[in-house]
Chains A and B, each alone.
Chain A
């Protein structure tokens, strides 16, 4: 992908310029300008991603790793180039450490099934935090149901922070895996990964990190983290749905059994036996999300074309403005207030249920999430059935924060 000319601006980041890349952001809903603050659920797609996918589909598309014809070679080249783009994005050492998946959920299921499944016995423990998304809970529940594994839950503090020492203390002789989010999709809490991973490794315990939120907002270096598995999803990264990636250390991936069986993942199939391809192909049965891989690479290129520190600073300005405004309202309680958190703002509103609030905000053009955010253990921890969540992306503006706050006041007038 050639970088877009507008991306030359370095240390500063202009969200208004970036907005122009996202066609959907210029639309209205109910006659009001769209204020899209549901980015933690899924981010919008820039023209650069949509164009890359269309150009590929109209000019170079075919199945990959199969045909000998021109287009198949071209498509295979693009697919593998996308893998290299992901490798660079995560600073993995080797390209074969990147497995394309349907998304973050499939990547975690893959590790649970193919890595831990054969290695776990009744009574063995998997350490999780209470702020995990269901996608980083349910695959481990499968191992509890099917193998008698025990889930050990690490609580968060009242401000939403996760104590690295609490994780270390939970690791015992029966621990087989630590699985944690990089950034909570509800609280915005950023997990102290370096310390946790180093601690786990002193006991020889592998760590899986769910980076579906984290990779969007933080720079990720899997070698520096020394993380064993790291999971991303495309659609939250301004890329398409239907694609994600699993980073796994080469030595771990090599020792894992296949996940799905099918084409492309084999070395040889006879009537009596089958041998499997090496990673990453071993884990990519069937025709992969080819067009989506090109879209994901374009999304990573797009995000990387900005100064990521400047983008993060912008997102934190949005968060700070919204946080300050909410703190002024005595009928609003923010859930997740730990310093250094990501640009995700969940809150409760006294006398207003999150669903009613979200309905009213919606009519003001403001899209937020209301509910349990696929994190029911966390909701239980904070004693709430649901919260309202505004989650920010690079294209949001300070003006949009003001629209959100004004809409909140309006909702209060209607429901309060």
Chain B
């Protein structure tokens, strides 16, 4: 018998994203690049963005090696923020950070929530929250052009 919270954490959607990540690889015409590092496990992720007129994220990609949770989270993130404005992406990130910690995630709109709900299983695994948030922090640091992100 399988632990219910494990089933929740490793849903098929998550495993599919981690095995077949979307937007994986280098983005040749990126104008924002960020690097993230999870010092706990040594995982690294790089997020590339091309931000165009109106602060719109025209394209995004990521590369790196990591656990299923971090890879799936990065893959879903690229799916969701592509085509959005920076402000929208940051709002979504705020909601996501709340979601994985089991806090009020009402900042996430209903459509997005449908996609991101699969990540809510992380709530039951506090040690794994950083895995889920690494790519998002990395995207933020890329947009800010700042220091390498750490998943905190």
Residues of A within 8 A of B (CB): 30, 353-356, 359-360, 363, 370-372, 376, 379, 385-386, 410, 414-415
With A30-B3, A355-B128, A363-B6 already in contact, the answer to whether A376 and B42 are too (CB < 8 A) is yes
The answer to the question of B43 belonging to the interface, with a C-beta cut-off of 8 Å to chain A, is yes
Judging by beta carbons under 8 Å apart, are A359 and B41 in contact?
no
User: Which residue in chain A gives the minimum CB-CB distance to B4?
Assistant: A363
Q: Can you give 6 contacting A-B residue pairs, CB < 8 Å?
A: A353-B68, A355-B41, A355-B131, A363-B5, A371-B40, A414-B6
Residues of A within 8 A of B43 (CB): 355, 385-386
Select from chain B the residue with minimum beta-carbon distance to A372: B42
In the complex the two chains form, what is the Cα distance from A332 to B9 in whole Å? 23
User: Which of A30, A385, A410, A415 touches B42 (beta carbons < 8 Å)?
Assistant: A385
Closest B residue by C-beta to A354 = B41
In this complex, the member of B3, B9, B40, B65 whose beta carbon has the largest number of chain A beta carbons within 10 angstroms is B3
Contact of A414 with B2 in the complex, beta carbons under 8 Å? yes
What per-residue 1/0 map shows which CB atoms of B56-69 lie under 8 Å from chain A? Answer: 00000000011111
CB distance B6 to A370 under 8 Å?
A: no
Contact B125 A385 (CB under 8 A): no
B44 CB–A CB distance under 8 Å? yes
The answer to whether A356 touches B69 (Cβ under 8 A) is yes
Query: B interface, by DSSP: helix, strand, loop or mixed?
Result: mixed
CB-defined interface of B98-130 with A at 8 Å, one 1/0 digit per residue? 000000000000000000000000000101100
Which of B9, B15, B65 meets A359, CB within 8 Å? B9
Please judge, given known A-B contacts A363-B3, A385-B65, A415-B15, whether A356 and B42 are in contact too, CB under 8 Å.
no
Shortest distance between the CB of A384 and any CB in chain B (Å): 9
Question: Is residue B10 within 8 Å, beta carbon to beta carbon, of the partner chain?
Answer: yes
In the assembled complex, how far is the CB of residue B97 from the closest CB belonging to chain A, in whole angstroms?
19
Bin the interface of chain B by size: 20 to 34
Q: Which 10 A-B pairs have the closest CB atoms?
A: A353-B67, A355-B67, A372-B42, A363-B3, A385-B42, A371-B41, A356-B68, A356-B67, A386-B41, A386-B42
For residue B19, give the distance in angstroms from its CB to the closest CB of chain A.
8
Of chain A, the residue at the smallest CB distance from B19 is A351
Q: Report the minimal beta-carbon distance from A349 to chain B, rounded to whole angstroms.
A: 12
Chain A residues lying within 8 Å of B127, measured Cβ to Cβ, are 359
> Which residues of the other chain, A, contact B42 by a CB distance below 8 angstroms?
371-372, 376, 379, 385-386
The CA of A353 and the CA of B66, in the complex, are separated in Å by 7
CB-CB under 8 A from A379, the residues of chain B are 42
Name the CB-closest residue of A to B127.
A359
Interchain CA distance A396-B43 in the complex, whole Å: 31
Q: What is the CA–CA distance of A357 and B10 in the complex, to the nearest angstrom? A: 11
**Residue of B15, B42, B127 with most partner-chain A CB within 10 A:** B42
Closest Cβ of chain A to B24, distance in Å, is 16
Q: Tell me, rounded to whole Å, the shortest Cβ–Cβ distance linking A257 to chain B.
A: 33
Nearest CB on A from B70, distance (A)? 8
The 8 Å CB contact of A415, one of B40, B44, B68, is B68
Instruction: Tell me which residues across on chain B come within 8 A of A372, comparing CB atoms.
Output: 41-42
Query: A residues within 8 A CB of B69?
Result: 355-356
Q: Which residue of B lies closest to A364 (CB)?
A: B3
Most buried by B among A360, A370, A371, A385: A385
Measured CA separation A299–B6 after assembly (Å): 38
Report B-chain residues with C-beta under 8 Å of the C-beta of A386: 41-43
**Chain A nearest CB, measured from B93 CB (Å):** 22
